Amino acid sequence: MNLPVLKAADFASDQDVRWCPGCGDYSILAQMKKVLPELGFPREKTVFISGIGCSSRFPYYMNTYGMHSIHGRAPTFATGLKSTRPELMVWVITGDGDALSIGGNHFIHCLRRNLDVNIVLFNNRIYGLTKGQYSPTSVEGQITKSTPMGAIDHPLSPLSVALAAEATFVARSIDAHVKHLGETLKAAAAHKGTSLVEVYQNCNVFNDGAMAYAQERKQRADNIVELEHGKPLIFGAKGEKGIRLTGNHLEIVNTEDVPSDDLLIHDAHDPNPAIQMMLARMRYPEMPEPIGVLRCVEGVATYNDQINEQVTAAKAKKGEGDLMALFNSGDTWQVA
């Protein structure tokens, strides 16, 4: 079958996009529209499911099937859909509040079940839609509408939590790094099992510049390290810095001072997540923050495959269900 070749514009719905001018969400939308045609997957088999938040308006703007559900629960709708319609490509769109505050539990359970969906978590470290309260990823001491004296909760790292739930695909990208973002979304789509992509997204209205260190051209070379499977961890404008594993921790070294063999070589495919967990914990300003695919382990059974395999197996073993046989099983009697 020859599928028609689609363009980004084909993935745009007829709805007006209603984010604030300058919001990082636009760039993520643009990349998604650019990447989907490249996957060559039928539009009508593509579904976007979101929770509630600025980010969660995303499905309205995609000319695919979509559901703007309720706050925090997007992964659970996806679970019902993907378990019964495994042939669909399902994307879950969520925010830091949606996924990690009210939805934290569903997030973990989706990952541990390894449901074959792609979760894109728009992390702006704030509640955008409700106008600027702190979120579980807001930094300690952050002043927001609900924390005039500073936030006192210790922030959560979505990547750490995902790895602890034995996620099979964990990645991070940045709204402003359009190319990197596009590649990361593609890698997520290619993975069989739950793919988590955290995207640093600027909320220019309520938390402007919170991740400028990673977004801005001038600063980012020093503050982020781009992971590539099989490649050493090198960063800095001129590649002058690297990361080395020493004993039980990661440290920054000068690439001129250490032999390149000493640098940590990124292994996204390692089933043992030990190093990946260390990477997930690297935080600005002490360390550069990793972007790219931290972990991508294939071959782990997915929930949707298994639930359907049990049905197939049961049919193979017992034959297609026969209602009358079921009703008449066990003790029955006749009244004339």
Partner 1 sequence: MIDTSTPPATSKTVETVSGITVRLCGDSGDGMQLLGTQLTNTSALAGNDVATFPDFPAEIRAPRGTRAGVSGFQVQFASQEIFTPGDTLDALVVMNPAAMVTNIGDLRKGGILIANEDGFNEKEYKLAKVESNPLDADVIEQSYRVVRVSMTKMTRDAVSEFGLSTKFADRCKNFFAMGLVYWLFGRSLDPTLRFIEEKFSKKPDIMNANMAALRAGWAYGETTEVFGESYQVEAAKLEPGTYRNIMGNQALAWGLIAASQVSGKDLFYGTYPITPASDILHELTKYKNFGVRTFQAEDEIAAVCATIGAAFGGTMAVTASSGPGIALKGEAMGLGVMLELPMIIVNVQRGGPSTGLPTKTEQSDLLQAMFGRNGEAPMPILAPRSPGDCFAMAVEAWRIATECMVPVMLLSDGYIANGSEPWKIPDMKDLPEIKCSHPAASDSDETFLPYGRNENLARPWAIPGTPELMHRVGGLEKEDGTGNVSYDPDNHQHMVDTRAAKVAKIAERIPEQDVFGATSGDVLVVSWGGTYGACLTAVAKCRDAGHDVSHAHIRYMNPLPSNIGTLLRSFRTVLVPELNAGQLRMLLRAEYLVDCVGINKVQGKPFAVTELVDAITHHATTLRQTKAG
Ligand X SMILES: Cc1ncc(C[n+]2csc(CCOP(=O)(O)OP(=O)(O)O)c2C)c(N)n1
* Angstrom distance (rounded) from CA 35 to CA 139: 32
Binding residues for ligand SF4 restricted to 155-184, rule: CB under 6 A: none
Residue 132 vs 236, nearer CB to partner 1: 132
| Phi, psi of 56, deg, nearest 5 | -75, 0
- Residue 19 binds to ligand SF4 (criterion: CB under 6 A): yes
Binding residues for partner 1 restricted to 123-162, rule: CB under 8 A: 127-131, 133-134, 136, 145-149
Query: What is the bridge-based pairing of β-strands 46-50 and 89-95?
Result: parallel
- Residue 326 binds to a second copy (criterion: CB under 8 A): no
* Angstrom distance (rounded) from CA 32 to CA 26: 10
Q: Segment near partner 1 (CB under 8 A), from 26-34, 74-82, 170-178, 189-197?
A: 74-82
* Angstrom distance (rounded) from CA 79 to CA 59: 17
* Angstrom distance (rounded) from CA 114 to CA 168: 7
Residue 19, binding choice from ligand X, a second copy, ligand SF4, none, Cβ under 5 to 8 Å by partner class? ligand SF4
Residue 45 vs 179, nearer CB to partner 1: 45
Residue 7, binding choice from a second copy, Mg ion, partner 1, none, Cβ under 5 to 8 Å by partner class? none
Binding residues for a second copy restricted to 150-179, rule: CB under 8 A: 150, 152-157, 160-161, 163-166
- Residue 79 binds to partner 1 (criterion: CB under 8 A): yes
24, 66, 95, 158: residue in contact with partner 1 (rule CB under 8 A): 66
From 54, 68, 58, select the one nearest 128 (Cα to Cα): 54
The end-to-end CA distance of the chain, in Å, is 60
Residue 128 vs 158, nearer CB to ligand SF4: 128
Query: What is the bridge-based pairing of β-strands 234-235 and 241-246?
Result: antiparallel
Q: Where are the beta strands (DSSP E) in 9-61?
A: 46-50
- Residue 306 binds to a second copy (criterion: CB under 8 A): yes
Residue 307, binding choice from Mg ion, ligand X, partner 1, none, Cβ under 5 to 8 Å by partner class? partner 1
From 175, 163, 292, 164, select the one nearest 224 (Cα to Cα): 292
Residue 157, binding choice from partner 1, ligand X, a second copy, none, Cβ under 5 to 8 Å by partner class? a second copy
48, 57, 73, 96: residue in contact with Mg ion (rule CB under 5 A): 96
Cis peptide, bond prior to residue 285, ω within 30 of zero: yes
What is the DSSP-derived secondary structure letter of residue 266? P
Question: In the complex, which residues of this chain contact ligand X (CB under 6 A)?
Answer: 52-55, 71, 95-98, 122, 124, 126-130, 135
56, 124, 135, 157: residue in contact with ligand SF4 (rule CB under 6 A): 124
- Residue 243 binds to a second copy (criterion: CB under 8 A): no
- Residue 207 binds to a second copy (criterion: CB under 8 A): no
* Strand, coil or helix: 93: strand
Copy the structure tokens of residue 296.
Answer: 């991508």
From 214, 216, 219, select the one nearest 198 (Cα to Cα): 214
* Angstrom distance (rounded) from CA 80 to CA 8: 28
* Angstrom distance (rounded) from CA 116 to CA 106: 14
Query: Contact positions toward a second copy, by CB under 8 A?
Result: 101-105, 108-109, 112-114, 136, 149-150, 152-157, 160-161, 163-166, 245, 248-249, 270, 272-275, 277-278, 281, 300-301, 303, 306-307, 310, 313-314
